[in-house]
Structure 1
Amino acid sequence: MAPPTGKRVKGVQIFRPFVYGTTAKPFDENTNPKPPGVPDDHTHSWTVFVKGIDDVDITYWLRRVQFKLHESIPNHVRMIEGEKGKPFLLHETGWGEFEIAIKLYYVPESAEKPQTLYHHLRLHPYGRTEEEKEAMRLNGGQVISWAYEEQLFNEPYEPFYEILTSGALPASSASSSLSNKTGSKSGGGGKGKDKDHGKQPVRSEGGVLERSAMIPLTNRPGQPFSRETEQVEIKKLQEALVKVEELMNRTKEEVARKEKRLKDLKAEAAKA
């Protein structure tokens, strides 16, 4: 970690969304043949990764990622250096599930200590219901276990604040130079004009702008996290809340009936 430089920007919190997790698939002669040299007892190929939401670049704040795998795997601690525009990922094969420690190393300008996430590798279909498990089986056997997360930088140092708020970039032209700064207590937006052309970045097809805190508006293939997903989850929570309240009311009524019955029994016993 680099020594702190400059002052902290007081009263400011900036967040950046990202996704991490694993994708696994069983070996199959037709759709996923086992590569030469893979041990006979290995049943799946799998990938663990950290990437930007909507696949936007995050190497401007994340420098490298360490994946700590099961100790039985050769060279079980792997360090992946950031490459602009590419996710941090690791491909492997195996037969068992285990917990992966994912350690995030930030760019030197942040002067932030590394942080660790934990993720359970899933090789087999899972879900709350048999229908959810079956849906995975019908998805070519591919088991997706992804998590949405938001990295929060609280009162960042001035140099890092400049990096985080130096202007949102269209994902298709991330090398464009944008002059106006963005960023606020809520995480930064997508404003800023191109110095050469004076154009505002365009959020096309509900996607996001790089170097911003935007979330995709709608789901697209390979992009399951969006405002649309958020609304679906909120609806599920609201429906679950209604069910919980109904259950609580029924429980209260049952308790009241039992208390009344107990009171009546005591009264009868007293008369006897």
Structure 2
Amino acid sequence: MAPPNNQKRVKGTQVYRPFVYGTIAKPFNDETNPKPPGTPADHTHSWTVFVKGVDDGDITYWCKKVQFKLHESIQNHLRMVDDVPPGGTFEVHETGWGEFEITIKLYYVPESLEKPQTLYHHLRLHPYGETEEEKEKMKQRGEVPAVVYEEQLFNEPYENFYEILTSPAPVGKGGKTKVLKGGMVSSVGERTALIPLTNRPGSEFSLETENMLLEEIRRAIAETKKLSDNLAKENQEAETYLAKLRAEIAAA
């Protein structure tokens, strides 16, 4: 079917926008996270599933609404979240005792003329697979995060949608854009694919994180090369010794 107003795709163009999705679970605790009245007795955690911009940047100019499909045992397990203000979060709050896979469907703004995209995320209630240091940090925060960084790619978007993606967003009162910690300009004021320079509480996706991971990879590569060189040296010494033994046996 032809697009409305005979729109054409902007050939040879790709536009990407970063966002994050995931869950944050908190075990019930009488002091820091008391169980709300009416919560089933066997429920052990409160948790939130969400989709939002990196560092709370705006994604509502390209994401119209989000559907969360929860476990079928949960009442009203299909949750559609819309009417989110710019810079807001698409989210659902629940309680429970078990882990399961959540289906997340992103619906784009009508101007995109694109079909919804489906993501899958596993709800985590307990820390596992982390280092002891990471587990201790979770314990201190009283929560178990499972957050994924993603980049939404729009390949050859239609003309009207391309304009939305690349045009400056309406700014707030006073005509000023919102400057985030780390020096990056929020996509509330400017639609950008950039991520913050530094981390801040609740937002661990930044160029600082990227550089830290790259440094860890470089150290791991150097350590691997060192181990490989040591093994090669040991192997060469063993081969030399074996050759010496063979020569002595042959001479005997």
TM-score range for the pair, normalised by the shorter chain length = 0.7 to 0.9
Could you tell me whether the CA contact under 8 Å between 2:180 and 2:196 is conserved in 1? no
CA contact (8 A) 1:126 1:132 kept: no
The one-letter code of the counterpart of 1:65 is V
Give 1:14's aligned amino acid: V
Of 108, 113, 116, which residue of structure 2 is paired with 1:114?
A: 116
Query: Number of residues paired by the alignment?
Result: 246
Q: Which moved more, 1:256-265 or 1:26-35?
A: 256-265
**Contact 1:169–1:209, Cα closer than 8 Å, also in 2:** no
Specify every segment of 5 or more residues in structure 2 that has no aligned partner in the other structure, as ranges.
Answer: none
Match for residue 246 of structure 1 among 202, 207, 226: 226
CA shift, 1:208, in A, is 2.8
Specify the SS of the correspondent of 2:11: coil
Question: CA RMSD of the aligned region, Å?
Answer: 2.6
Give the corresponding residue for 1:230: 210
Deviations 1:210-240 (A, max 9, x none): 2221211222222222222222222112112
1:216 aligns with 2:182: no
User: How far apart, in 1, do the equivalents of 2:229 and 2:203 lie?
Assistant: 40
Compared CA separation, residues 10 and 263, structure 1 to 2 (3 A)? farther
TM normalised by structure 2 equals 0.85
CA distance in 1, matches of 2:107, 2:246: 68
Q: Deviations over 1:96-139 (max 9, x none)?
A: 12222212121222222222222221212334321211121112
1:64 CA drift (Å): 1.6
- Provide the C-alpha distance between the structure 1 equivalents of 2:236 and 2:59, rounded to a whole number of angstroms: 57
Pairwise CA distance, 1:254: 3.6
Aligned to 1:187: none
SS for the counterpart of 1:136 is helix
Structure 1: runs of 5 or more not aligned: 177-193
Change (3 A) 1:266 1:127: same
**Letter matched to residue 231 of structure 2:** T
Q: Structure 1 pair 14/40, CA: closer, same or farther in 2 (3 Å)?
A: same
TM-superposed deviation, 1:82: 4.3
TM-score computed with the length of structure 1 as normaliser: 0.80
CA contact (8 A) 2:16 2:153 kept: yes
Change over 3 Å in CA distance of 1:160–1:266 after alignment to 2: farther
In structure 2, the CA distance between the partners of 1:101 and 1:212, relative to structure 1 (3 Å rule), is same
Amino acid at match of 1:242: A
Asked if the contact 1:82/1:88 (under 8 Å) is kept, the reply is no
Deviation, 1:43, is 0.3
Q: Secondary structure at the match of 1:209?
A: coil
On the 8 A contact 1:208/1:215 being kept in 2, the answer is no
User: Are 1:59 and 1:82, in contact at CA under 8 Å, matched by a contact in 2?
Assistant: no
Q: Residues 258 and 30 of structure 1: is their aligned pair in 2 closer, same or farther, counting only changes over 3 Å?
A: same
SS at match of 2:195: coil
Give the partner amino acid of 2:197. L
The equivalent of 2:147 in structure 1 is 146
